[in-house]
């Protein structure tokens, strides 16, 4: 049985959850509103400030959907109350980041700067302090959209394993490889 799916979701104060026909779940909170279509086979019930999901059978399909939709709804509740943050670090000589509103301008060692438009649902902030790597901070309520945008920015110049140069998440550990050794045997 799905341990994640069985766990109830506690609804914090200031959060409203509306379940309409066709299992459309809408979560309203202090930071915004999110909605998600849930599979019609699953039953959603709200009792005593907790939302629980129940599946009709023990089939593989129902078991996998049970845990999936519980996690999606939990992330929606967390997003509208606290929000999500992703920070990216630009490691490399001459790598820079600047933003004008929602337009992110990145200099990543290519012959031209890269212009990247960030969706309006995400708040963008760039920091560039002397002696430290430039940071790009993304903040939003939709975990899926935030992760997708952060992955696209990281994909513009992935960290390479020899020197570690590139765009990486703050706290990400890059597996390093040993380079060529001087005067090796033939």
Q: What is the pLDDT of residue 125?
A: 95
CA distances to 3, 60, 138 from 130, rounded to whole Å, are: 48, 54, 21
| Total-model pTM | 0.88
Q: What is the pLDDT of residue 16?
A: 92
**Is 85 a residue whose pLDDT tops 90?**
yes
Strand runs (DSSP E) across 30-147, as ranges?
A: 32-37, 43-47, 50-54, 84-91, 96-100, 103-107, 114-117, 123-127, 135-140
- The mean pLDDT value for 107-128 works out to 94
20-37 CB burial, b ≥16 within 10 A, e <16: eeebebebebebeebeee
* Tokens describing residue 110: 């290519």
pLDDT-derived band of residue 22, with 50, 70 and 90 as boundaries?
confident
- The mean pLDDT value for 142-155 works out to 96
> Which residues lie across from 136 on neighbouring strands?
88, 126
Q: What is the pLDDT of residue 1?
A: 42
**Is 84 a residue whose pLDDT tops 70?**
yes
CA distance 140 to 85: 7
Share of the chain above pLDDT 70, in %: 96
């Amino acid at each position: 049985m799905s341990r994640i799916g069985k766990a109830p979701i506690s609804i914090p104060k200031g959060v409203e959850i509306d379940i309409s026909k066709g299992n459309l779940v809408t979560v309203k909170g202090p930071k915004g509103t999110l909605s998600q279509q849930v599979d019609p086979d699953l039953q959603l019930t709200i009792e005593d400030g907790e939302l629980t999901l129940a599946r009709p059978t023990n089939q593989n399909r129902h078991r996998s959907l049970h845990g999936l939709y519980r996690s999606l709804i939990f992330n929606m509740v967390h997003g509208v109350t606290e929000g999500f943050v992703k920070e990216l670090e630009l490691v490399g000589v001459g790598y820079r980041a600047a933003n004008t509103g929602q337009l992110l301008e990145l200099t990543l060692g290519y012959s031209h700067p890269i212009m990247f438009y960030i969706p309006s649902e995400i708040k963008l902030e760039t920091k560039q302090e002397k002696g430290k790597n430039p940071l790009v901070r993304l903040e939003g309520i939709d975990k899926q959209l935030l992760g997708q945008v952060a992955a696209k920015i990281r994909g513009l110049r992935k960290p390479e394993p020899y020197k570690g140069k590139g765009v990486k998440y703050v706290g990400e550990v890059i597996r390093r490889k040993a380079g060529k050794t001087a005067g090796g045997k033939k």
